[in-house]
């Protein structure tokens, strides 16, 4: 799994004077089916979230309000993506170390996930991540 598979995806926008509308269909606008949705909110300034990788989980991260940064790392390359609009999001493939920081006041981070919550899918130790990715 390489960081080059992680990409910002533009979402459909139905512009309307009454308010704009965006939608996301699994296997259509994003490259996986959606089994779970969760969101981060009321994040205190200076907080970091994430600091882990997933063995099998695909995720799509959307900034619904405010802004934040997502840092990605595949063990060889890393990049930072600033998310600040609800009409695009970041696809994160499995086996990518990630953390989120630089949350603005009022930021809401919505994550679409390909699987239900499963703690055994997490790699929370970076040394373990680097060992596992070296065997792929």
Q: DSSP state, 26?
A: B
Q: Does 35 bind ligand TYD (CB under 6 A)?
A: no
In the bound state with ligand TYD, the residue whose beta carbon lies nearer, of 3 and 112, is 112
The residue range among 4-12, 48-56, 59-67, 71-79 that interacts with ligand TYD, by the rule CB under 6 A, is 48-56
Q: Which of 52, 58, 71, 82 is catalytic?
A: 52
Question: Among residues 26, 31, 50, 94, which is the contact residue for ligand TYD, using CB under 6 A?
Answer: 50
Q: Does 71 bind ligand TYD (CB under 6 A)?
A: no
**Secondary structure element (H or E) that encloses residue 127, with its range:** helix 126-134
Q: Which two tokens stand for residue 105?
A: 């006041």
Q: Which two tokens stand for residue 46?
A: 């200076």
**Secondary structure element (H or E) that encloses residue 95, with its range:** none
The residue range among 12-20, 50-58, 61-69, 72-80 that interacts with ligand TYD, by the rule CB under 6 A, is 50-58
58 in catalytic set: no
The residue range among 46-54, 64-72, 77-85, 102-110 that interacts with ligand TYD, by the rule CB under 6 A, is 46-54
Per residue in 22-52, is it b (16+ CB within 10 Å) or e — as a string? bebeeeebbebebeeeeebeebeeeeeebeb
**Shortest-Cβ-distance residue relative to ligand TYD:** 49
**Secondary structure element (H or E) that encloses residue 133, with its range:** helix 126-134
Question: Among residues 21, 25, 28, 38, which is the contact residue for ligand TYD, using CB under 6 A?
Answer: 38
Q: DSSP state, 32?
A: S
**Residues forming the active site:** 52
């Amino acid at each position: 799994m390489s960081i080059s598979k992680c990409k910002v995806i533009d979402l459909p926008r139905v512009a309307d004077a009454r308010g704009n509308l965006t939608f996301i269909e699994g296997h259509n606008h994003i490259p996986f089916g959606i089994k779970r949705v969760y969101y981060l909110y009321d994040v205190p300034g200076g907080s970091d979230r994430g600091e882990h990788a997933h063995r099998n989980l695909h995720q799509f991260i959307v900034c619904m309000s405010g802004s934040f940064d997502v840092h990605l790392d595949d063990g060889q390359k890393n990049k930072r993506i600033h998310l600040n609009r609800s009409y695009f999001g970041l696809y994160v493939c499995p086996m990518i170390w990630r953390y989120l920081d630089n949350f603005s006041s009022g930021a809401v981070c919505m994550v679409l996930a390909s699987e239900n919550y499963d703690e055994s899918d997490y790699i929370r130790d970076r040394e373990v991540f680097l060992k596992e990715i070296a065997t792929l």
